[in-house]
Chain A
Amino acid sequence: MSTTQMKPYKGQQPAISYRGLGKRRQQGLLTVLTYVVLITGAVALMVPLFWMLSTSLKTEAEVQAWPIQWFPSTPIWQNFVDVFERVPFARYLGNSTWLAVTSIVGQLIGSTLAGYGFARMRFPGRDVLFFVMLSTMMLPAWVVVVPHFMMFNAIDWLDTYKPLIIPELFGSPFFIFLCRQAFLGIHPELEDAARIDGASTFRIFLQIFLPLSVPTLSTIAIFAFYNSWNSLLYPLVYLRTQLKFPISLGMRMFQTADFGVTHYPRTMAASLLSLLPPLLLFFFAQRTFIQGVVMTGVEK
């Protein structure tokens, strides 16, 4: 990287004066300093991920070597094979995928419907209900987890996926908020034109509003995926049978897989594999993703 190269951009051209040269040198120094800080920070942030990759290809002896070995002498790919042979890892990945897909579909249905109601329909009490809806964002899962457990126990849903899937169908406040914002931004003329052509409200919602809100819907899908993939508490409370575990619970098997002792290379290989879907999603959907995060904070 050419850190010393100066590239003054438009509008930043130093004014011609007797101090011009000094200013230019100062600017150059600042750029170098910026790079030093940026690169130091980036390296520090990447160390844990590098450590995970490096360890996943080591032997156990190399893990315990002192001073530490930064790279494995020969990469042991067998560690990754072992992950699938020691525990039903493929099964866990499959379970998590299924839960993520149902969560995405459920959230998209529930949140768009409510979002549309709050954005485009007029009915008495709408604003009060919207306020109530937003307020529930502050309600911690901790308050409702015991009643949920008792409720699902009473209707015999424990150790099934129903407690993990069904509640997702009703939308969640944050996604409803995002949908409402997106629908509010769509021009009413489109709606009026369709209505004159005789389209029903539901058809207008389905064929005009949804297609025009694809960026927001993708954002919701991505967030729903992350929430589901990383969730620990609910699977922990509701699931008993090991073969039904999602990856979050399955990962815990590695902590104590070999008579209570962690096999670090294998554990890091499993961590890496379970982080792969979220990381790949991030790289492929980076734009949507970052826009989505930005939407949450600042809305125009």
Chain B
Amino acid sequence: MQQNLGTALAAAGREAGGNRLWPRKGLARREAIEGYLFILPWAIGFLVFRLGPMLYSFFLSLTRYRGTGNIEWVGLQNYIYMFTQDPRFRDSLRATSVYVLSYLPLSLIIGFAIAMLMNQKVRGILGFRTIYYLPSVTSGVAVAILWQFVFHKQFGILNAILGVVGIQPIGWLVDPDYVMVAFVIMSLWGVGGSMIVYLSGLQSIPTELYEAASIDGANAIQRFFRITIPMMTPTIFFNLVTGLIGAFQIFSNAYIMTGGGPQYRTYFFGLNIYFTAFSSLRFGIASATAWVLFTLIIVLTIFIQTTSKRWVYYAGRG
């Protein structure tokens, strides 16, 4: 039976109801105490670095605070300001949605297609797997700076290659109409990460299924849609959820390559929160923005989780 993070989470939720009471007997009691000691470091970290800051952040989102002086209670004003007046909030919402909606479907489809290719039994396939996976292990500032140069209007290699087929130089990172295309291209360069997860999913499909289908006269297309796709839905689900959570939080590349521009087209939530908090020192608005981002992620994840019952197939569970 396959189990990934998503299913583990669901399973843990289901089991959570069946709590045992505090054990009275000696050995069980001792085991319980030792158990708590083992998870104590995590529990402290959870309270000090997760739960506490999270609640405090929610409190801050209802206040006006500029880093010094008094914390002034303003109720829902920050949220009202964001949704009705703040142009930067709208920029972030647009930039993030456009990015997620264009990058995520492409990465799911291209990652899957490459994994299908990598699953072919041809000579040298292991070398190809390494090459395709390689870009996804490089990330961070160095890669952002490299891509900034690849996209350079005059000296960049992308325009040089496009120039060969007669396309005029494009200002990838300075033209508001192209900057998102550039970001999607760059993100897809690292598609090897989801490819490798798909590949492991493909390889765990029992070959007997294909053999049986072939004997029954199913052709390649039928086998793909009737066996491969259904058996891969748990993996697709996993890549969808992790991809979504990751894409919503994009920061480094935009911070290094565009600083949010041109015309705030790449002013993703991450940049908005960072600049609002640490450049403008408006901690209240920054926290409120973070909470909107958090809510968006939770709502979408729960939505996908709920619909997954209809389209995700878990072998061995009917």
Contacts and interface: CB of A to CB of B under 8 A. Distances in A.
Contact of A124 (B22, B143, B163, B290): B22
Nearest to B22: A124
Interface in A27-74: 31, 34-35, 37-38, 41-42, 45-49, 51-52, 55, 63-64, 66-68
A211 interface: no
Main secondary structure of the interface of B (DSSP, over half): helix
B49 A170 contact: yes
B32 A113 contact: no
Contact of A133 (B33, B46, B277): B46
B54 interface: yes
Contacts of B35: 117, 121-123, 126
Given A1-B124, A127-B15, A142-B290, A122 B154 contact: no
A142 B120 CA distance: 41
A49 B134 CA distance: 10
Interface stretch (B76-84, B101-109, B174-182, B196-204): B196-204
Interface string B250-271: 0110011000000000000110
Contact of A147 (B22, B56, B137, B248): B56
Interface string A197-232: 000011001000000000000000000001001111
A151 B54 CA distance: 12
Contacts of B149: 51-52, 55, 264, 267-268
Nearest to A297: B197
B269 A142 contact: yes
Interface of A: 1-2, 5, 7, 9, 31, 34-35, 37-38, 41-42, 45-49, 51-52, 55, 63-64, 66-68, 109-110, 113-114, 116-118, 121-151, 167, 169-171, 174, 176-177, 201-202, 205, 226, 229-233, 236-237, 247-249, 251-252, 254-255, 264, 267-268, 270-272, 274-275, 278-279, 282, 286, 289-290, 293-294, 296-300
Contacts of B255: 232
B73 interface: no
Interface of B: 2-5, 8-9, 12-13, 15-16, 18-23, 28, 31-39, 41-46, 48-50, 52-54, 56-57, 60, 114, 117, 120-124, 128, 130-135, 137-143, 145-147, 149-150, 154-155, 157, 160-161, 163, 189, 193, 196-197, 199-201, 204, 234-235, 238-239, 245, 248-249, 251-252, 255-256, 269-270, 273-274, 277-278, 283, 286-287, 290-291, 293-294, 297-298, 301
Nearest to B194: A297
A140 B140 contact: no
Given A138-B297, A177-B8, A300-B3, 20 more contacts: A38-B117, A68-B160, A116-B38, A123-B36, A138-B245, A143-B53, A143-B294, A144-B53, A144-B54, A146-B290, A147-B53, A150-B56, A171-B42, A230-B252, A274-B141, A278-B137, A279-B138, A298-B2, A298-B238, A299-B8
A251 B150 contact: no
29 contacts: A46-B131, A48-B147, A48-B189, A68-B155, A68-B157, A116-B38, A117-B38, A121-B32, A121-B38, A124-B21, A129-B39, A129-B43, A134-B8, A140-B297, A141-B249, A142-B273, A144-B53, A144-B54, A147-B52, A149-B278, A170-B41, A171-B42, A254-B145, A268-B149, A275-B142, A296-B197, A298-B3, A298-B200, A299-B2
Contact of B49 (A31, A167, A177, A251): A167
B150 A51 contact: yes
Main secondary structure of the interface of A (DSSP, over half): helix
Contacts of A282: 134, 137
A139 B8 contact: no
A149 B277 contact: yes
Contacts of A116: 38
A139 B155 contact: no
A38, A122, A176 pick with most chain B CB within 10 angstroms: A38
B34 A169 contact: no
B207 to A, nearest CB: 9
A171 B38 CA distance: 12
Contacts of B38: 113-114, 116-117, 121, 205
Nearest to B45: A170
A124 B32 contact: yes
A126 B36 CA distance: 9
A136 B249 contact: no
B12 A251 contact: no
